[in-house]
Chains A and B, each alone.
Chain A
């Protein structure tokens, strides 16, 4: 970071480094814009590493959808204010493709059916509908679909991941599941094992053979072997290939509970590659204030606690997330937008924020609170006026969507980011 008085100019400032911020930045640099980006990255916000498009609709009917595009058409009909309703299906598909192609280029390949959702086995034994998944997880969905003979393996010391739990939970529909427990790779030490530590161990080639040898005696007639997602951080495809070669089975990863390696992989990939494309990145820094300048554009102050950098930007994309991301601030008297105090669509009173049951199928009203936007993803006031021509908002901060219940987190983030960048470039 430079001296406190340092000032810079850029065409676009992206505020936020979650999936929405990363996608907006990527799309904008690819279009030749000069981009600066700030925000905290963390394995938690990228979490499972799978990319949902629309897995459940309508949520109150608990309808799991195999064809996300049909579900999208219904949603666009029923909910004209939903962020997805502002995009054509081809635009959404294109945005997803751009993102996954890029990740493939930088060593984090994704896969999935061209038009359908895939079922992903989770560590609690549910089968989550998702759209794009890391190729290291693909064989699991295949095995699940075929109910093929399969061995699930857990590791001594890795808490919250039990092969027996998954096998028992799925036994009624997938009887050919076997389980085994093996020591985690590396020297045997007592105590808890963390995915990151195990993954770093497996980055070392020599460790993989020993790990394969520990699994081998349990395989019997299994054609697939499922492991917790610990197979490296940077070389996952290589590690999977090596284990498959040694064990003569298909290997797949199952996402673990946080702190999970699947998020860390995305974090590392974005953080190391976007700056090489010319992004002026301030990861681990926050935008402390944003002021529209009288001359047009914005003046932004960036720092950890005190301002360390001033950036003048022609355009701003707000991708600051919801409560976890800190884009929205929930006070006892109401929900506020953190940086510009933009109008927030929300329930009338705090007693309407949440349903009585955590798992109420319809979800919680507070999850649909957020920023209202126009067709170009510019925030608007309650009466529909655009707040600022050059200010855009994307990702989970948007109102009228509940990604958690409809399984659409990354989809909404990436699609809205793409549309906003299109609008910015067109202007």
Chain B
């Protein structure tokens, strides 16, 4: 396989870069070792930052967020819910930080407005009675899945080729150039090579690992952050703790749910990331101080993402390392056609992509200018089913009773599942329960997939998408995957739900006895 640019990594950065380059007429291949947004882009808070969170630590990053946040709201409104945000402090929080907050926001051009405490509680009834300060800022909520899937769809429409479930196994160098990149499909085991003029390493927390394979040395620390999803939406706006950025201080609404987080736990290997009981237990008291309802609300799932922290010297506090991005040109290490782009934020993905594309085009001698600055991001079908509340709405409107619901909790009907499987097949993939879960709300409701996994598997067989005993492996994989997100949150009513799931899938079906 041959191309101008090989992009490694299918997160927000890689997919954004694919679109940026495609718009400039550059031919690209994107390889992703799992699925789109399998990394931090699928494991983040979904907060479209106004920048206010970074005014205490990194003014440049705050300004970047402000600019890019505004741009995404304008160019990709279908991916954003423009909720607005509040920064609130409770009794005991650092008074000096509160006193400087508004001025520092203004310094970065962030529209900030002091809010009367009584008004704040009227705007957000779940806020603590112990508020001592509140400010409104233009934070918003963004759907990272839609964003990446739409970027990729636009790039594909312009010729970009995408290889999912495919990872890099080796770089073959000759002199100062990487001649060939060996890759392998992790499902089929098939190996092949890609010849590219330029190679971009957009693998987020894995960037150090991939760079090392190419013989380049960059220091990337991995910091895991865990998040928990509540059963119901607890606020209209994004709610931030008004204090120096720390753990457990943000609550972001996302459709019909809210997401609370996060933590920072050092990891050696990003592949071992998973939310733990200890993180959840450590995080809750802080959240309860800000939004007391978190003490009694039902949580439906936890998940974790890994931040890459690029640094030159070791440091003990992961939050003091710049959240700004790193664009690393590896010529110093003697590789002329290899670039690493990592770090940054979801909010600044486009800027990261633009800067990277500029560098790549310079090397390729392509003079076309960046278009993603001004060109709206087209909404496509592939991204739309992840939106909470959308499929129920459509299903009720359509009133077709024979369009059976396969996921009853989130009301995902057969027609939507068929649309998604057709899409995956068109991309050359085989639809799996896990992918259906990533591209829709399937398995995200209170049953945690115990029932819908069975309805989906039966349906996939009937549609000819599964054969032989693939369904058993599908069920095992899906249930184990869901479990990662559920098991740290198992107390109270959720334990009974887990027991029902185990009674059914182990007690009756004996899925644990199936040889993997």
Q: Do A and B bind each other?
A: yes
Is A124 a contact of B503 with CB atoms below 8 Å?
no
Nearest CB in chain A: distance from B264 CB, A: 19
Q: Which residues of the other chain, B, contact A220 by a CB distance below 8 angstroms?
A: none
**Complex partner residue of B277 from A168, A189, A350, A364, CB under 8 angstroms:** A350
Nearest CB in chain A: distance from B43 CB, A: 18
Is B483 a contact of A358 with CB atoms below 8 Å?
yes
Is A162 a contact of B495 with CB atoms below 8 Å?
no
A-contact 0/1 string along B255-266, CB 8 Å cutoff: 000000000000
Is A331 a contact of B401 with CB atoms below 8 Å?
no
Is B480 a contact of A172 with CB atoms below 8 Å?
no
Nearest CB in chain A: distance from B443 CB, A: 13
**Complex partner residue of B496 from A160, A161, A164, A323, CB under 8 angstroms:** A323
Q: Does B48 contact A (CB under 8 A)?
A: no
Q: Which residues of the other chain, A, contact B475 by a CB distance below 8 angstroms?
A: 124
Bound-complex Cα distance A164 to B471 (A): 11
Bound-complex Cα distance A331 to B491 (A): 5
Question: Nearest CB to that of A56 among chain B residues?
Answer: B513
> Which residue among A157, A191, A353, A354 has the maximum number of chain B CB atoms within 10 Å of its CB?
A354
Q: Does A390 contact B (CB under 8 A)?
A: no
Q: Does B472 contact A (CB under 8 A)?
A: yes
Is A354 a contact of B490 with CB atoms below 8 Å?
yes
Nearest CB in chain B: distance from A92 CB, A: 19
B-contact 0/1 string along A250-269, CB 8 Å cutoff: 00000101100000000000
Interface extent on A, as a size class? 35 or more
Is B458 a contact of A165 with CB atoms below 8 Å?
yes
Bound-complex Cα distance A125 to B401 (A): 28
**Complex partner residue of A407 from B466, B492, B504, B507, CB under 8 angstroms:** B507
Q: Which residues of the other chain, A, contact B483 by a CB distance below 8 angstroms?
A: 357-358
Bound-complex Cα distance A75 to B64 (A): 65
Q: Does A324 contact B (CB under 8 A)?
A: yes
Bound-complex Cα distance A357 to B404 (A): 31
**Complex partner residue of A191 from B278, B402, B458, B495, CB under 8 angstroms:** B402
Q: Which residues of the other chain, B, contact A403 by a CB distance below 8 angstroms?
A: 507
Is A257 a contact of B451 with CB atoms below 8 Å?
yes
Is A258 a contact of B468 with CB atoms below 8 Å?
no
Q: Which residues of the other chain, B, contact A165 by a CB distance below 8 angstroms?
A: 457-458, 461-462, 466, 471
Of residues 483 through 499 on chain B, the ones whose CB sits less than 8 Å from some CB of chain A are: 483-484, 487, 490-492, 495-496, 498-499
Q: Which residues of the other chain, A, contact B405 by a CB distance below 8 angstroms?
A: 192
**Complex partner residue of A64 from B404, B479, B502, B513, CB under 8 angstroms:** B513
Q: Does B366 contact A (CB under 8 A)?
A: no
A-contact 0/1 string along B441-472, CB 8 Å cutoff: 00000000001001101110110001111011
Bound-complex Cα distance A116 to B513 (A): 19
Q: Does A58 contact B (CB under 8 A)?
A: no
Bound-complex Cα distance A59 to B401 (A): 43
Is B471 a contact of A169 with CB atoms below 8 Å?
yes
Question: Nearest CB to that of B507 among chain A residues?
Answer: A404
Question: Nearest CB to that of B491 among chain A residues?
Answer: A332
Q: Which residues of the other chain, B, contact A404 by a CB distance below 8 angstroms?
A: 502-503, 506-507
Bound-complex Cα distance A258 to B498 (A): 15
Is B402 a contact of A190 with CB atoms below 8 Å?
yes
Is B278 a contact of A122 with CB atoms below 8 Å?
no
Bound-complex Cα distance A64 to B471 (A): 21
Q: Which residues of the other chain, B, contact A332 by a CB distance below 8 angstroms?
A: 281, 491-492
Is A407 a contact of B510 with CB atoms below 8 Å?
yes
Bound-complex Cα distance A58 to B500 (A): 22
B-contact 0/1 string along A39-64, CB 8 Å cutoff: 00000100110000000100100101
**Complex partner residue of A44 from B277, B467, B490, B500, CB under 8 angstroms:** B500
**Complex partner residue of B458 from A44, A159, A409, CB under 8 angstroms:** A159
Is B504 a contact of A258 with CB atoms below 8 Å?
yes
Whether A159 contacts B471 in the complex (CB less than 8 A), given A64-B513, A124-B511, A323-B496, comes out as no
Is A128 a contact of B451 with CB atoms below 8 Å?
no
Q: Does A136 contact B (CB under 8 A)?
A: no
Of residues 361 through 397 on chain A, the ones whose CB sits less than 8 Å from some CB of chain B are: 361, 363-364, 366-367
Is B508 a contact of A47 with CB atoms below 8 Å?
yes
Q: Does A356 contact B (CB under 8 A)?
A: yes
**Complex partner residue of A160 from B458, B466, B468, B503, CB under 8 angstroms:** B458
Of residues 59 through 96 on chain A, the ones whose CB sits less than 8 Å from some CB of chain B are: 59, 62, 64
Is B503 a contact of A47 with CB atoms below 8 Å?
yes
Question: Nearest CB to that of A328 among chain B residues?
Answer: B495
Bound-complex Cα distance A361 to B476 (A): 12
Q: Which residues of the other chain, B, contact A1 by a CB distance below 8 angstroms?
A: none
Q: Which residues of the other chain, A, contact B501 by a CB distance below 8 angstroms?
A: 358
Nearest CB in chain A: distance from B500 CB, A: 6
A-contact 0/1 string along B387-419, CB 8 Å cutoff: 000000000000011101110000000000000
Q: Does B512 contact A (CB under 8 A)?
A: yes
Is A405 a contact of B472 with CB atoms below 8 Å?
no
Question: A-B pairs with the 10 shortest C-beta distances?
Answer: A358-B483, A191-B401, A162-B458, A165-B461, A351-B277, A190-B402, A404-B507, A330-B495, A359-B512, A160-B454
- Beyond contacts A47-B507, A164-B462: 19 other A-B pairs, Cβ-Cβ < 8 A, are A47-B508, A62-B512, A64-B510, A125-B471, A126-B509, A159-B455, A160-B454, A160-B458, A161-B458, A162-B457, A162-B461, A258-B451, A326-B496, A358-B482, A358-B501, A358-B505, A363-B506, A363-B512, A409-B507
11 pairs, CB–CB < 8 Å, chain A vs chain B: A47-B507, A124-B454, A160-B451, A169-B469, A257-B454, A257-B455, A324-B500, A332-B492, A350-B281, A351-B276, A405-B512
